[in-house]
Structure 1
Amino acid sequence: MTLSRRIVLNDGPGGLFEHMAVVDDAIGTACPGILLFPNVLGTKEADFEKAEQVAALGYAVLVADVFGQGKRTTRADPDAGRYMNEMNADRAMMRDRLLVAHAALKALPEVDPARTAAMGFCFGGKCVLDMARAGADIAGGVSYHGVYDPPEGLTGDSFTGKLLVAHGWDDPIAPPEATVALARELTAMGCDWQIHAYGHTGHAFTDEGVNMPEKGLAYSPDADRRSWKATVDFLAELFG
């Protein structure tokens, strides 16, 4: 196994986007492709490391830039959510950027364009759900501690893929009523869905750098481990 990274640039709604492809150069044939959507901060080293973890399973991964080249923030930034907020204010633009990123994934020479999926964290989980709502031709998607509010007037009637939603039951951003509403929405779409809810677990449970339990945001090693195992099994079911 020889993992490598390379920058992938493409034009899209609002400018130039800088993705990161992570692949195993030892795989000689086209393999399933996975879009990885980062959290509110945009693409960063932690995402590239997670992509390597996914690529080691035999997939080609594109860490998707949906904010635009150079548009990144940090936790120390007093306005860390500004690029995410722009997307939330225009869900049609957000949808179009997600589909452009998917096209960039399918264009990678390492990817079988007929076999793709998506995964995302926090805001990235919302991106996965919006791809399903847009009827994107992905086999499935995984949302980790995502955000569940649907885009008004933009939700499609059906999604033929499968969805795994990994959820912290005590997540203040996605309280129980929002989680139940998501289940009803996915059921109405005819989606093959599953929600894994982890007790005594809040938002950002996969992020080792988060420790704000007073705000309901904290890393949970148990939920992280369990959701990753569920993901490995889910991807194997999609592409095995």
Structure 2
Amino acid sequence: MTKDKQRPDARFDDDDDPLDFLSNLGEDVSAAQQALFVHPEVAGWLERTPGLGHEIPWTIVSFTDETGRRVSGLVVAGSFTNGKWDLTTEFVLFTGRARRPGTFLTVDGAAVQARAQGSVPGVGPRRPDEMALLKEMQAASRAWAASPSLQAYWALFASIHGCSPMPDTFVELRFQDHCYRGLIIDGTLDSTGFWDMEQPVELLLPSGRTIGLQADQADSVAFLTGGEQHDLKRHG
């Protein structure tokens, strides 16, 4: 038995196994994270499961509901013991992917045969300011979603460079007494497809303002989300 925590008419976003249309588990987790981090209810769920993405790995789980529909998503709450989720008890899945918002679905593990499709390890200790940073990232994401011109530019950039459907790299650059945090919406990619922080970048700040910065002149650069590890953690 399942209970929809969001609204009674919420639709599932993926009837099929996500690995059927994404090339690997990492891409599936990344797509789910993109949707999760911009969802208006994400802060509450991360407060409920504070180790998620840190001590607790990102785990994709699937099951077949009573109508025969295949449902899958990220586990965001439940009983996590001995290094894994107990899928025989009640747990909560987030079913979103990329731009598809999804829903938080409470699943009775005793009533379905749920299985873990795979996990991506967390990234270690949490930053003490994680929730504040998450709110800033959500504000920047909302500003991007509200700007047709920014969306159009990113669509072109992403089609050329093979980027995600929406900007997902949230960074912090410090220049002496000045600190800037925002989504990278323009810049140069290196040979691995990662942002080259030796080149200028353009950020979309939580206020909705854009600013161009000489990243190579920053005193410090912190990737708070995006890249190979999508989590609120300082790199380097």
Name the TM-score class by shorter chain: under 0.3
Output the TM-score relative to the length of structure 1.
0.27
Q: Give the structure, 1 or 2, with the largest relative contact order (CA under 8 Å, sep 6 or more).
A: 2
The structure richer in helix per residue is 1
Tell me which structure has the larger Cα radius of gyration: 2
